[in-house]
Structure 1
Amino acid sequence: MIGILLISHGNMADGIKDSVKMIVGEQDKFESLSLNPGQDINQLKTDIFNCSRSLDSGDGILIFVDLYGASPCNASMRCVPEWHDLGMNVRIITGMSLPMIINAVCNRESLTIQALAKECIEAGHDNIQDAIANIIHPNQAHNEDDY
């Protein structure tokens, strides 16, 4: 089973984890970490590394972070050499959203980590919609110029 770790500024990761539990039930190999005000980035990196090791059952780990290039992402990226040395298969996906995480927990036993990462990114893209425009113009394709 692919392990899943959510990391965010503040309580976002905990909130998404709680929402996943509400929608699809309790999950194994599924954890969240938060970066709180004043927290040392080196401690976050240590927490990420330790948590990732506990989530690894040999099938890999997907780490979802809230923002590309921000502290949770950067702390995760600092673990890459150690994961590599241990032979761990880890992917870091930025722009975490609830649809991405639901996709991950529901498909992690049937897909490779590479295929699952791709599906989660697609789920993130597919779930960004202008809901009212979809109702007003249900058969009209939208392009970037519409926004």
Structure 2
Amino acid sequence: MISVIISGHGDFPIALKESSGMIFGEENNLIAVPFFKGEGIQTLQEKYHQALKDIPEEHEVLFLVDIFGGTPYNAAASFIAEDQRMDMAAGVNLPILLEVLSLREHLALKDLLNNLKAMSQQSFQVCSEHLEKVKTANQDTREDEL
């Protein structure tokens, strides 16, 4: 099982957890750790330390943070450097969190991260590109009917 700590600037991790709850319901071992203006990296590391106390020892731990190289990322990196059962992905959004929640009981952490890399490219979509594909497909269908 993989426990998840979502972290980021402001209320973002709290809102992300609440949004996932609207879709999947209440999840165990999903912890939101916000980083607020005026807090330093040491405060955030203390918050992570407290969150980790609530996670069973046998669980792997995935930190999902908002920005690569930001304070939430850097604070988590210090824990990951010392514990091989932990890792992190930056650039979290709701589709990525939902993917994690749906697979975390079935995959090991490294396998889950590999899935996320592939999935993250698919979760970012441009509407006009899809509309063009639909338009082209509809035109092809009409031409085939003639």
Q: Give, in whole Å, the separation in 1 of the partners of 2:28 and 2:40.
A: 28
Distance in 1 (CA, whole Å) between partners of 2:22 and 2:61 is: 22
Q: Which residue is 1:59 aligned to?
A: 59
Contact 1:2/1:57, CA 8 A, preserved across alignment: no
- How much identity, in percent, do the aligned residues show? 21
Conserved in 2, the CA contact under 8 Å of 1:100 and 1:121? no
Q: What is aligned with 1:76?
A: 76
**Is 1:16 the counterpart of 2:12 in the alignment?**
no
Deviation of 1:78 (Å)? 1.8
Alpha-carbon distance in 1 for matches of 2:133, 2:93: 26
Aligned to 1:50: 50
State the aligned residue count: 136
Cα distance, 1:59 vs structure 2: 3.1
**By how many angstroms is 1:47 displaced?**
1.2
Matches of 2:118 and 2:94, distance apart in 1: 13
8 Å Cα contact 2:80-2:87 kept in structure 1: no
Instruction: Flag structure 2 segments of 5+ consecutive residues without an equivalent.
Output: 138-146
Which stretches of structure 1, 4 residues or more, deviate above 3 A after TM superposition?
Answer: none
| Cα deviations by residue, 1:50-82 (Å, 9 ceiling, x for unpaired) | 31242244130111000001100011112234x
Paired letter, 1:104: V
Specify every segment of 5 or more residues in structure 1 that has no aligned partner in the other structure, as ranges: 141-147
Pairwise CA RMSD of aligned residues?
1.7
Deviation at 1:46, TM superposition (A): 1.6
Q: Distance in 2 between matches of 1:52 and 1:124?
A: 26
- Distance verdict in 2 for CA 1:25–1:51, change over 3 Å: same
Kept after mapping to 2: 8 A contact 1:7/1:64: yes
Residue number among 83, 89, 92 corresponding to 2:85 in the alignment: 89
Could you give the per-residue CA deviations for residues 8-65 of structure 1, whole angstroms, max 9, x where no partner exists? 0001111110110001111000010111010121010121123124224413011100
Mapped pair 1:134 → 2:120 = no
**Larger Rg over CA atoms:** 2
